[in-house]
Structure 1
Amino acid sequence: MFLDAAWTTISATLTYRNEGSFRYAALQQVGYENKQNIWRGRLKMAKKSQEQLPRQRIIKAARKLFDAKGFHATTTAELATEAAVSIGQIYRLFENKDDVIIALVEENTQARIAKMHAIFSAVEQDGHSVFEAIKAIAKDSIIKSDGGLSFEILAEACRNASVADRLNALVVCYRDGVRRLAALTRPDATAGELEAYVEIMMACFFGLGHRTLIAPASDVDKISHETACLLMRALGAPDQPAPPPS
């Protein structure tokens, strides 16, 4: 009877140990697979990052060189040297030099569209005034001017249909946003009046961006404020929003 009890205890212990070992091994396997998945994800992200780094360096170098020397005066060899890549790598990432300037336009487009959407959302959802929005756009136009590069892009758009298409996408989005602001300020305006307001505002914003080529803005806040006041008057609205009721 004693031996039976002892054997039962030993069997239960062995079973527990075996099951425990099995569970431990299973947990080890799960942990190993999870680690493998994590590392695969990290390797994929690292590979993607490595692929993007040369491309971003080329775009950054192009922005600098095209602005300083001009698009056509900049050679592919100079671009490769500035970006610390080989000429072959440029042609692996871009079909030709035209594709580089298209990438610049796309980068500018994405940045400007994101900025404009943030400004419009602030007006339509957060209760910010149109005056504040116009001032923000004016300020952004002055600060984020590309200088001579913008003229290089415009000139290339006249010669290259692909560049013109990308640039047109930026202008259309920009114009739609300005029209939204004008419509919020003057909901009573006719379609023709609204288009006239949009033309005036667009000319002003683009002009502010090009102004820095002639004379850098000494007081960005003051200029953007005065610009907003002027455009609000052109829209037939108060210079500044009325203070909230006390």
Structure 2
Amino acid sequence: MSAPNEARDARHRLRQDEIIAAGRRCFRKEGFHGASMAQLAAEARLSVGQIYRYFTNKDAIIEEIVKRIIDARLAHMEKTAAINMSEMLAWRLALNEDDEALMMEVAAEATRNPVVAAMMIEADNRMFTHACSNFKRAYPQLSDEHIRACVEVLAVLTEGTSWRRLTPQKASAERLCALYQQFNDLLFKTEEK
């Protein structure tokens, strides 16, 4: 690729990053459904027409935000394969509070917008497949069906914990951690034949 093309591509990526950053701020304030392209353009200090040069519509911006959030989560999963899930759940830890809030916005928008609902399905498929692969490496003795069931249960716990962060915790994190660890041990126990 020639230097002028590389420079143009770098400028294009930089502008997209700026629009995504502005979109994240705008969507956090107004929600996906409530934020208009005019508001997003003002937040990005661009015209609406300039934004359309980089993204075909608001859904395309949402899709890129979701993709980046899932990419970050997958990268984190790779770096911290041995992370203690029980501690994360018990202390209601989040990788990124803004990402968590934006994904709640995505979930709300998915109830109104079939395009965003499809994005959620794709994001879930990526996370689920990746988690299954990781757990299969850690527990090769378990069947694929058992691994899928375990990942489904852990997804429910993790996603439920995201929603529970909105309310005060009603049990001690230490006690919850012990219970989650017992639950985890039971989940990944060798299957009965």
TM-score relative to the length of structure 2: 0.73
1:89 deviates by 0.6
What is the one-letter code of the residue matched to 2:96?
A: K
After superposition, give the CA deviation of every residue in 1:111-149 in whole Å (9 maximum; x if it has no partner). Answer: 2222223334xxxxxxxx5xx353686589613133442
Q: Structure 1: give runs of 5+ residues left out of the alignment.
A: 1-36, 121-128, 238-246
What is the match of residue 142 of structure 1? 94
Contact 1:58 1:83 in 2 (8 A): yes
Name the structure 2 match of 1:61.
Answer: 22
Distance in 1, matches of 2:31 and 2:122, equals 23
- Cα RMSD (Å) of the superposition? 3.4
1:88 CA drift (Å): 0.6
Of structures 1 and 2, the one scoring higher in RCO (CA 8 A, sep 6+) is 2
Matches within 5 A, 1:100-119: 100-119=61-80
2:37 matched residue in structure 1: 76
**Percent of aligned positions with the same letter in both sequences?**
27
How far does the alpha carbon of each residue in 1:170-193 deviate from its partner, in whole angstroms, 9 at most, with x for none? 212322344355556666656665
**Counterpart position of 1:152:** 105
One-letter code aligned to 1:48:
D
- Runs of 4+ in structure 1 off by over 6 angstroms are none
Measured in 2, the distance between the counterparts of 1:108 and 1:117 equals 14
Where do 5+ consecutive residues of structure 2 fail to align?
Answer: 187-193
Q: CA deviation at 1:150?
A: 1.9
- Residues 1:108 and 1:174: Cα distance change in structure 2 (over 3 Å): same
113, 127, 132: which is aligned to 1:179?
132
* Among candidates 152, 158, 161, match of residue 208 of structure 1: 161
Q: CA deviation at 1:83?
A: 0.7
More helix by share: 1
Larger radius of gyration: 1
Q: Please name the residue that 2:185 is paired with.
A: 236
Structure 1 144/208 Cα, relative in aligned 2: closer, same or farther at 3 Å? farther
Q: 1:201·1:231 contact (CA, 8 Å) conserved in 2?
A: no
Contact persistence 1:67–1:147 (CA under 8 A) = no
**Conserved? CA contact 1:148–1:213, under 8 Å:** no
Instruction: Check the 8 A contact 1:135/1:228 in 2, yes or no.
Output: yes
Deviation, 1:229, is: 4.4
Q: CA deviation at 1:50?
A: 1.5
Letter in 1 for 2:41: A
**Contact 1:80–1:86 (8 Å) recurs in 2:** yes
The answer to whether the 8 Å contact 2:55/2:61 transfers is: yes
Structure 1 length as normaliser, TM-score? 0.60
Residues 193/55 of structure 1: CA separation in 2 closer, same or farther (3 Å cut) = closer
- For 2:108 and 2:58, the matched residues in 1 are separated by 15
Cα deviation, 1:36-90, whole Å, max 9, x if unaligned, reads x9xx52x433222211222211111111111221122212111111111111111
Report the counterpart of residue 190 of structure 2 in structure 1.
none
Q: Write the letter of the residue equivalent to 2:160.
A: G
